[in-house]
Amino acid sequence: MAKDRFTNLDLNLLRTFIVLHQEQNTRLASKRLFVSQPAISKALQRLRHHFEDELFVKSKTGLSATAFADELAKGLAPILNDLQQSLNHTTAFTPATLSGVIRIAMSPFLLSTLGSRIFIELHRQAPQVQFQLVNWSKSTVRDLINDEVQIGIHYQLGDAPKQLLQKTIGTERFALVIRKQHPYTKDSIDISHGIDYPLATIIASDWNSQMSMIEQQLSARGIETQVGFRSELPSAIMEVIANTNMMFPASQYIDISRNPELRKLQGTIDNQPFKVDVCSYFHLKHRNNPTVSWLEKTVTALLN
């Protein structure tokens, strides 16, 4: 008869196990669970004794899971998620009753242009929550998978991992920002056949870290583009634009009212608006999570 590993198990240990499996590091696990590292180590000892397996072994970066631990996590994760969803659905969802910290990762364009509006609306509905709006970085995908970020807002990624749900929540048109004394005097520009001036472009992790979208579009047509400046900060690019003849492919939401020396051009390609999809990203297990659904709905309303 197989050993009964459930009856005498402290179920609190399962949450610790799942977080350890995600982080592969006792220090990071302790931060997520708001307990000390010795408490994590003690819980791991109890788990090892209970399951009669090492579960995790030391590695250069922290810990590595055993084959048994991988199989255990694969089976437990969806069960614990269903339990969480069931418990959270026992009462009606009301944003005003939420508390704690909610982290939202956004592309630099969207964070700089819509971040304050998004925070103001979320804060109005959930005043007890500390909202952290952060730039989408190289670690954001991992942070979404590990629940360190609740939702991400970015342009469409070509290779989102299978653990994340990607949903189109809006479409953004791009404009080009130039200085008012720029030699280009028209109010619109079609980039189909190239651009005669160098570009200053944004760097957005996981989207255009190597090449901007306009460069990609023109490269596909065999047209080379000169890029004179790249930065993760829209404000830095705006300063460069104000003092050079570069052009800045920018978000339609960008506000240049505080930069009277700048103006916006309507950008098109083949005489059609230059568009890109805006998407939300969150862990697949949160597809029915009321908090995540509320966050997504609120951001979508402000985008459209």
Q: Which domains does the chain have, with CATH numbers?
A: 12-88 (1.10.10.10), 96-169+277-303 (3.40.190.10), 171-276 (3.40.190.290)
Element (H, E) at 266: strand 262-269
Q: Reduced to 3 states, what is the DSSP secondary structure of residue 276?
A: strand
pLDDT value, residue 118: 95
- Candidates 18, 24, 140; CA nearest to 80 is 18
Burial zone of 283 (CB within 10 Å; 0-12 exposed, 13-18 middle, 19+ buried): buried
Give 2's pLDDT tier (boundaries 50, 70, 90).
Answer: low
Q: How many CA atoms lie within 13 A of 265 on its CB side?
A: 23
pLDDT value, residue 295: 96
* Higher-pLDDT residue of 262, 77: 262
Element (H, E) at 302: helix 290-303
Q: How many CA atoms lie within 13 A of 118 on its CB side?
A: 28
Token couple for 197: 């001036």
pLDDT digits (tens, 9 = 90+) for 213-226: 788 888 888 888 89
Q: Which whole-number Å values give the CA distances from 131 to 91, 118, 121, 125, 180, in the listed order?
A: 23, 10, 11, 12, 37
pTM (two decimals): 0.69
Residue 133 has pLDDT above 90, yes or no: yes
Mean pLDDT of 258-264: 91
Residue 90 has pLDDT above 60, yes or no: no
What would the DSSP string read from start to end of 71-116? HHHHHHHHHHHHHHHHHHTTS---GGG--EEEEEEE-HHHHHHHHH
pLDDT value, residue 3: 67
Burial zone of 229 (CB within 10 Å; 0-12 exposed, 13-18 middle, 19+ buried): middle
pLDDT value, residue 101: 94
pLDDT value, residue 68: 92
- Candidates 114, 108, 149; CA nearest to 234 is 108
pLDDT digits (tens, 9 = 90+) for 134-149: 999 989 999 999 889 9
| C-beta of residue 106 within 8 angstroms of C-beta of residue 151 | no
Give 91's pLDDT tier (boundaries 50, 70, 90).
Answer: low
